[in-house]
């Protein structure tokens, strides 16, 4: 178990290093932050001064090593735009994204798994067909479109919910449901197919031969077996939620990390972009590790080593 953990840690460090390098270079390829800071009237001298102040006059590889060195010491730099430490800027956005993401994740798991089981148990029926239609529609509609339609219908026309921004629960409803549609549909589909496969397994037949009640067969045995691929996919979907959050937060002006990332890219706020992506990478890597640990809890055949 310890050696498994150490090996994963080593891989994680390599991945993170790669991510920082790519983001570092890509951010600088997107354009020069200095020009957007000094304005059109600035002369060459002012531009050079500004560039020196930000440390952007040195070769990119030197900047990179300074950055990595600083990060290793816990210094993530200052936001060029906000003139405050990056950690502060990010920290005030994270809770919003966590709230939005977890709500969407919870909704997509609960709906996806229960509808998936329902469809599997009523295979071939009208209910099954309806649920599968929901899944296809949910996976086909892009977030921004669902978001705009939701605003149009529920906020503008019906006036049930606020159009945008963060606030009480009413502000959370539309962005969370919009963000949940895609993962919900994906989880639904895999739950259905995995459950169908499990219900056809020989050991399920033997459970029936033993005379067990159908609810015991479905909820105790079949579900646990069927959940293995569902958990793998849910981990991936929770990661994808962050990508979806960038769009959904923009559509609904939700003040989360995704919104911050878009702002920072537009204004070329390199330190915020770098640390934001770094944080997301660390989150995804931890998520994968967590999923592997959950597998071990469910499936006795899995050994770490």
Partner 1 sequence: MVEPAVNVVVETPVLEVRDLRMFIHADRGTRIVRAVNGLSFSLGAGRTMGIIGESGSGKSMASLSILRLLPRGARVEAGEVLFGGENLLKKSDSEMRRIRGRHIAMILQDPMVSLDPLFRVGEQVAEPLRTHQGLSGETLRRRVIELLGAVGIPAPESRFDQYPHQMSGGMLQRIVGAAAISCGPELLIADEPTTALDPTVQAQYLDLLEELQDRTGLSLIVITHDLGVAARLCDDVIVMYAGRAAERGSVRDIFERPAHPYTQALLSTLPGRRAPGEHKRLKTIDGQPPDLAALPPGCPFAPRCPRADDRCRTETPPEIALDPTHMAACWYASDA
Name which position in 121, 292, 299, 304 contacts partner 1 (CB under 8 A). 299
Is 192 an interacting residue with respect to partner 1 (CB under 8 A)? no
Q: C-alpha angle 197/107/89, rounded to 5°? A: 130
Is 215 an interacting residue with respect to partner 1 (CB under 8 A)? no
Name which position in 145, 224, 266, 286 contacts partner 1 (CB under 8 A). 224
Distance from C-alpha of 80 to C-alpha of 66, rounded to nearest angstrom: 17
DSSP state of 92: T
Return the structure tokens found at 213: 């009640």
> Residue 102 to residues 14, 169, 182, 238, 265: CA-CA distances in angstroms?
28, 14, 14, 8, 25
Is 297 an interacting residue with respect to partner 1 (CB under 8 A)? no
DSSP state of 141: S
Of the candidate spans 12-20, 67-75, 99-107, 199-207, the one that interacts with partner 1 by CB under 8 A turns out to be 199-207
Is 33 an interacting residue with respect to partner 1 (CB under 8 A)? no
Q: How far is the CB of 120 from partner 1 (least distance, A)?
A: 12
Q: Is residue 64 a contact partner of residue 58, using CB atoms and an 8 Å limit?
A: no
Of the candidate spans 13-21, 98-106, 169-177, 207-215, the one that interacts with partner 1 by CB under 8 A turns out to be 207-215
Q: How far is the CB of 199 from partner 1 (least distance, A)?
A: 10
Q: How far is CA 148 from the centre of its chain?
A: 21
Q: Is residue 76 a contact partner of residue 86, using CB atoms and an 8 Å limit?
A: yes
Is 10 an interacting residue with respect to partner 1 (CB under 8 A)? no
Q: Which helix (H) or strand (E) holds 146?
A: helix 143-150
Name which position in 39, 202, 215, 305 contacts partner 1 (CB under 8 A). 202
Site residues (CB under 8 A) for partner 1, limited to 109-168:
123
C-beta of 120 vs 146, nearer to partner 1: 120
List interacting residues with partner 1 (CB under 8 A). 123, 201-203, 205-213, 216, 221, 224-225, 298-301
């Amino acid at each position: 178990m310890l050696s498994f953990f150490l090996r994963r840690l080593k891989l994680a460090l390599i991945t993170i290093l790669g991510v920082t390098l790519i983001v570092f270079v890509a951010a600088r390829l997107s354009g020069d932050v200095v020009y957007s800071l000094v304005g059109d009237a600035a002369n060459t001298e002012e531009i050079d001064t500004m560039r020196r102040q930000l440390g952007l006059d040195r070769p990119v590889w030197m900047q990179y090593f300074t950055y990595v060195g600083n990060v290793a010491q816990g210094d993530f730099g200052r936001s060029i735009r906000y003139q405050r430490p990056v950690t502060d800027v990010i920290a005030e956005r994270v809770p919003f994204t966590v709230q939005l993401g977890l709500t969407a994740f919870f909704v997509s798991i609960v709906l996806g798994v229960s509808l998936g089981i329902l469809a599997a148990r009523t295979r071939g029926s009208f209910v099954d067909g309806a649920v599968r239609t929901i899944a296809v529609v949910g996976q086909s509609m892009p977030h921004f479109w669902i978001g705009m339609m939701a605003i149009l219908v529920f906020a503008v026309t019906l006036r049930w919910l606020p159009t945008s921004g963060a606030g009480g629960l009413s502000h959370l409803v539309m962005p969370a449901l919009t963000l949940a549609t895609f993962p919900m549909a994906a989880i639904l589909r895999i739950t259905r197919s995995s459950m169908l496969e499990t219900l056809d397994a020989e050991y399920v037949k033997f459970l029936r031969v033993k005379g067990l009640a159908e609810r015991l067969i479905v909820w105790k045995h079949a579900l646990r077996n069927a959940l293995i691929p569902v958990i793998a996919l849910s981990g991936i979907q929770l990661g994808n939620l962050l990508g979806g959050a960038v769009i959904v937060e923009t559509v609904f002006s939700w003040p989360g990390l995704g919104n911050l990332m878009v702002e920072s890219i537009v204004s070329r706020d390199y330190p915020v972009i770098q640390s934001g992506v770094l944080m997301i990478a660390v989150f995804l890597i931890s998520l994968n590790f967590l999923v592997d640990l959950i597998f071990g809890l469910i499936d006795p055949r899995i050994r770490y080593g």
